[in-house]
Amino acid sequence: MAFHEKLWQSSFASDGTPVNANNPRTGPTGRPVRGFETNGLPRQPGAPYAEPCRTDATPGNNWSVAPTGRARLYKGANVELDAIFNKLGWHFRNSASSRCG
pLDDT digits (tens, 9 = 90+) for 79-95: 777 777 788 878 776 66
Residue 91 placed within a domain: no
Q: State the Cα–Cα distance between residues 61 and 68, nearest whole angstrom.
A: 14
Q: For residue 93, what is the enclosing H or E element? A: strand 91-100
Q: State the Cα–Cα distance between residues 77 and 97, nearest whole angstrom.
A: 8
Residue 23 placed within a domain: yes
pLDDT in tens, 9-62: 999 988 999 998 888 888 777 778 888 888 888 887 776 667 777 887 777 777
Look up the pTM and report it. Answer: 0.53
Residue 94 placed within a domain: no
For 47, the domain range is: 1-73
- Count the domains in the chain: 1
Residue 87 placed within a domain: no
